Amino acid sequence: MSASRAPVTDGLAATDDIGWAVRLLAATPTHEHRDPELLRRWARAADAFGAALAPVGCEARVVERDGGLELGLLARYTSRPPTVELFTDTLALAERVVDARGWRDWYPPGSVRAAALAHEAVHVHLHHGPAKAALKHALGHSALRLGRLRVPGHVAGAEEVAAHAYARTVCGLGRSPLLLTAALAAEAEARSGSANGSNPPPARDARREN
Amino acid sequence: MGVVILLVMAAGVAAMLTRKLPTAFALVLLAVVIAFLSGAPLTGKNSVLDTVLQEGAPALAATMVAIILGSWLGKLLDETGIAGTLVRKIVEFGGDRPTVVALGVLAVSALVGTVTGSAPAAMLAGIIGIPAMVAVGVPKVTAAGTVLMGIAVGVPFELPVWQFFSTALDLPVDTVRGFMVKLFPFALVAAVAYVVIENRRRGTEHAWSLKSVSARPAPRRERLGDAPWYALLAPVVPLVLALGLDVAIIPSMLAGVLYALVTTTRPGEMNKRLLRTLYGGFEVAAPPLALFVAIGILLAAVKLPGAVDALEPLMKAVSPQNPVLFVIVFTVLVPLCLYRGPLNVFGLGAGIAGVLIATGIYPAVAVLGMATSYNQVFGVADPTSTQTVWAAQYAGVSPQQVMVRTLPYVWLVALGGMCVTAALYL
């Protein structure tokens, strides 16, 4: 497994859970120009919100399927019809990565699947209930201020941070699933790099005629 | 000889479809072959060298200048953060309602579409807009289609497009503008319907993606603050001047460039920024400029007397004169503008439009109606058009998926355009 020898992945675990949440927010479009300290504050607020959520059941249909590595996905929630897809090939790779990195204490056997279900359950919860407004309130971001009038602003990516924090808490994981996601991303990148020999051309370079 | 010319055109379409030849090269080659087949001499009046190549190449010069100015303004919108600020504000205001965010990105795309076209327009609205929509739960195909449908809403007010149809079809800009204003409601209704219906049908989507965090820290990016609110009006300045105050196209676009500059840039940095974005605009404009040189050459070839004489009987025999039949036939033929097909107005379709006008089969304004209706389809659903390829790839889906999802909506736009054309001009 290439994960054990890829130099870029050295010390992934040295970054704390909030650090990974900040990286997720920083990589989310609309935050390109944000102050890192503001992103850290939002990451903390979203993480605390997710960790404090009462356990929610997942009433969506659960489907297991292959092809997650090709899509770059571990799990996916779609609202019509409410369905959670779990990608078995990515889950299997995740278990192997946990073993290879010696992270079994943090992610016990079968916990990645449970975390995926918990993560998507939060998306269902936020999609259908009033919790989304509560998350917005917890983040405290204003889209507009006119005297006393304050319009709360949406923070893209915060829901994802909250979902990971919830999964970490309810599944009793030692570290955030975001750390495992970063390790999986490195593994998938190493695999696609060795398969293709080089990176695919970016979409910007698509042949242009008009 | 008319049949031979049509066969040559078919071969040209095949070369473009199979990507044996880039469209611009294929059009020039077609023009030279058509000119020789029409019996044009090498030099002199109505000749291959002097008329087709020498006079044809700069025939669409006014359009080319408008394209350069549009690309320049587009570069300014990008570099000054105006486009990014528009999208960010929309996400902040409407982020927990995916349909609202998508409608907002649609509006920004429409604004951008009035300024510039093709892949640069898709990039301006989509680089932040597509991932921002995906982040709030809009499915990827819907997100890519939203940007394209939005640009198509702006296309009826894209000033370089007015200039193109005005020059290519030899019509006053006022006439082009008059028809575009009638086409706009169809494009707008179809785009809003697309966003609302597709978001309702497909719902929201959230994924645990491996790409959400990277093992490598994100590279330091240049931090652009939000552009001031009054700078966000820059994309509408050319439109207000050209549409509302009847100012000519090129000065209207120059005013947009100056407005974007003075509202975002310190006086000491203006010269540097103006030059940098102008040169960047040339790079963006290069592909359409090459195409417009080629289209000018093709138009010159199909207007040669020999070509008109050869094609007139054939075209008359197959072109419906009854208004109802006109609408039915040309609406059914909509797919022929896809995949660089013969009705693509930025390809062989321009030549066919030239033939229809030169032979007097339809009035020029009816050909305008037909060509602009096809343009609304091509600009969104053609899987080989650069904006569609870019938007789809950037969203992580295939251009064909975007075509399947958007085609029904833009087909209806074309139907609307054909109905207006038949009702008013036939």
- Assess whether pLDDT exceeds 90 at residue B132: no
- The shortest CB-CB distance from B136 to any of A24, A32, A156 is to A156
Residue B5 is predicted with a pLDDT of: 85
So where are chain A's domains?
21-191
More confident residue, B200 or A127: B200
Tokens of A14: 């040295």
Tokens of A155: 């923070």
Mean pLDDT computed over A88-97: 94
Residue B219 is predicted with a pLDDT of: 58
Mean pLDDT computed over B310-336: 90
| A67 contact residues in B (CB cutoff 8 A) | none
Mean pLDDT computed over B221-231: 75
Residue A12 is predicted with a pLDDT of: 87
Distance CA B253, CA B161 (A): 13
| Chain-centroid distance, C-alpha A153 | 21
- Whether residues A28 and B131 touch (CB distance < 8 A) is answered with yes
Tokens of A136: 């917005």
pLDDT bucket at B217, cuts 50 / 70 / 90 = low
Helix ranges restricted to H, B18-96? 23-37, 61-79, 82-94
Residue A2 is predicted with a pLDDT of: 44
- The shortest CB-CB distance from A208 to any of B119, B128, B137 is to B119
Distance CA B14, CA B420 (A): 32
- The shortest CB-CB distance from A78 to any of B93, B131, B205 is to B205
Is A186's Cβ below 8 Å from some Cβ in B? yes
- Assess whether pLDDT exceeds 60 at residue B11: yes
- Whether residues B208 and A156 touch (CB distance < 8 A) is answered with no
Amino acid at site B127: I
Distance CA B419, CA B17 (A): 29
Distance CA B34, CA B297 (A): 11
- The shortest CB-CB distance from A151 to any of B93, B212, B223 is to B93
- Whether residues B119 and A206 touch (CB distance < 8 A) is answered with yes
Phi and psi at residue B380, to the nearest 5°: -110, -50
Residue A8 is predicted with a pLDDT of: 40
Distance CA B114, CA B108 (A): 10
Phi and psi at residue A202, to the nearest 5°: -65, 155
Secondary structure of A74-95 in HEC code, one letter for each residue: EEEEEECCEEEEEEHHHHHHHH
- The shortest CB-CB distance from A209 to any of B23, B92, B217 is to B23
Q: Which of A148, A179, A202 is nearest to A13 (CA)?
A: A179
Beta strands in B182-323 (DSSP E): 205-209
- Of B183-187, B311-315, B327-331, B414-418, the poorest mean pLDDT is in B311-315
| A12 contact residues in B (CB cutoff 8 A) | 215
- Comparing alpha-carbon positions, the chain B residue that sits nearest to A22 is B213
Residue B368 is predicted with a pLDDT of: 96
Tokens 């991932």 sit at which residue?
Answer: B131
- Whether residues B210 and A154 touch (CB distance < 8 A) is answered with no
- Comparing alpha-carbon positions, the chain A residue that sits nearest to B215 is A182
Tokens 């309130």 sit at which residue?
Answer: A137
Tokens 């970063």 sit at which residue?
Answer: A182
- The shortest CB-CB distance from A210 to any of B213, B225, B287 is to B287
Is A153's Cβ below 8 Å from some Cβ in B? yes
Partnered with residue A63 across adjacent β-strands are A85
Mean pLDDT computed over B226-251: 89
Distance (Å) from the C-alpha of residue B398 to the closest C-alpha of chain A? 11
Question: CA geometry: angle at B328 spanning B323 and B331, to 5°?
Answer: 115
Helix ranges restricted to H, B303-397? 305-318, 323-332, 348-358, 364-381, 386-395
Q: Which of B408, B389, B305 is nearest to B355 (CA)?
A: B305
Q: Which of B387, B363, B364 is nearest to B375 (CA)?
A: B387
- Whether residues A154 and B119 touch (CB distance < 8 A) is answered with no
- Of A1-5, A86-90, B155-159, the poorest mean pLDDT is in A1-5
Residue A207 is predicted with a pLDDT of: 42
Residue pair B162/B173 in contact (Cβ under 8 Å)? The answer is yes
- Whether residues A208 and B386 touch (CB distance < 8 A) is answered with yes
What DSSP state is assigned to residue B380? H
- Whether residues A210 and B88 touch (CB distance < 8 A) is answered with no
Q: In a 10 Å sphere around its CB, with 0-12 CB exposed, 13-18 middle and 19+ buried, how is residue B13 labelled?
A: buried
- Whether residues B214 and A185 touch (CB distance < 8 A) is answered with yes
Q: Which of B92, B297, B347 is nearest to A42 (CA)?
A: B92
pLDDT bucket at A49, cuts 50 / 70 / 90 = very high
| B207 contact residues in A (CB cutoff 8 A) | 73, 75-77
Residue B323 is predicted with a pLDDT of: 94
Residue B222 is predicted with a pLDDT of: 55
Can you tell me whether residue B22 is helix, strand or coil? coil
- Comparing alpha-carbon positions, the chain A residue that sits nearest to B101 is A154
- Whether residues A79 and B205 touch (CB distance < 8 A) is answered with yes
Distance CA B102, CA B107 (A): 9
Q: How far is CA B172 from CA B29, B178, B228, B361, in A?
A: 30, 10, 37, 20
- Comparing alpha-carbon positions, the chain A residue that sits nearest to B123 is A204
What CA dihedral angle connects B21, B24, B29 and B30, to 10 degrees?
Answer: 100
Distance CA B115, CA B237 (A): 10
From the CB of residue B223, how many other CB atoms can be counted at a distance below 10 Å?
10
- Whether residues A204 and B123 touch (CB distance < 8 A) is answered with yes
pLDDT in tens, B264-316: 999 999 999 999 999 998 988 888 889 889 989 998 998 898 888 888 888 88
Q: Which residues contact A11 (CB under 8 A, 6 or more apart)?
A: none
Residue pair A143/A152 in contact (Cβ under 8 Å)? The answer is yes
- Antiparallel, parallel or unpaired: β A82-87 and A61-65: parallel
Q: Which of residues 98 through 117 in chain A touch B, CB cutoff 8 A? A: 116
Among B212, B221, B298, B339, the residue to mutate for chain A (most A Cβ within 10 A): B212
Can you tell me whether residue A199 is helix, strand or coil? coil
Q: Which of residues 119 through 138 in chain A touch B, CB cutoff 8 A? A: 119-120, 123, 127, 132-133, 136
Distance CA A43, CA A61 (A): 30
Distance CA B182, CA B189 (A): 12
- Comparing alpha-carbon positions, the chain B residue that sits nearest to A206 is B390
Q: What is the value of ipTM here, to two decimals?
A: 0.84
pLDDT in tens, B339-362: 777 888 887 888 889 889 988 899
